[in-house]
Amino acid sequence: MEKLYKLLSDAQASLFVLFHKTWVYHWNVVGKDFQQLHTLFGEQYNTMFEEIDRLSEHMRYLNVKPLSSLKRVLEVSYIEEASSSANDQSMIADLLKSNQDLCEKLGDISEEAEEQKSYATANLVQDLMESHGKFIWMLRSFSSTPGIKVNESIQEQEEVIEEVEETIEELEAE
Ligand SMILES: [Fe+2]
């Protein structure tokens, strides 16, 4: 069961970081789709608020303590914090990737839980997978590059940032 508890704890921390990130983007989004994205992110963080509570209470039933330190939450989360310089499209790409990563990990938990015959746990994480699958669909509908895999578009953005940083370094060295 130890493995299952660790997977649950990491997922709880990651869900907490995704909740916070979505909330931050709900405040900070700007652009022509402001109203729709503000509302979409609002619905998603509100859903996650309920999910975190449900998951944490189920962990207490399993005699696992959810992490209480925010520092520790950030350390174990496989989802990164909100970017302070994101525009509307990079917010969407970032949230898409985070939700996809979360769904993948939830799938691992579901498998492990079924193997351990912890069916209530499997059922709970499968519910989360369904709701985050819906998030993915909605976010994808707002993406300006829906045909491109999110990981690719983030990689492209990272490459551009790297190039800019190199240019700055070169200029500074002159
Ligand atoms: Fe709000």
115: in domain? yes
Q: Which of 1-5, 42-46, 107-111, 125-129 has the lowest mean pLDDT?
A: 1-5
172: in domain? no
CA of 144 to the centre of ligand 1 (A): 24
152: in domain? no
128: in domain? yes
CA of 157 to the centre of ligand 1 (A): 28
Query: How confident is the model at residue 174, as a pLDDT?
Result: 72
CA of 26 to the centre of ligand 1 (A): 7
CATH classification of the domain holding 127: 1.20.1260.10
Structural domain boundaries enclosing 84: 2-144
3-state secondary structure the chain: CHHHHHHHHHHHHHHHHHHHHHHHHHHHCCCCCHHHHHHHHHHHHHHHHHHHHHHHHHHHHCCCCCCCCHHHHHHHCCCCCCCCCCCHHHHHHHHHHHHHHHHHHHHHHHHHHHHCCCHHHHHHHHHHHHHHHHHHHHHHHHCCCCCCCHHHHHHHHHHHHHHHHHHHHHHHHC
CA of 152 to the centre of ligand 1 (A): 31
7: in domain? yes
Number of domains, the chain: 1
Tens digit of each residue's pLDDT (9 = 90 or more) over 71-125: 999 999 999 999 999 999 999 999 999 999 999 999 999 999 999 999 999 999 9
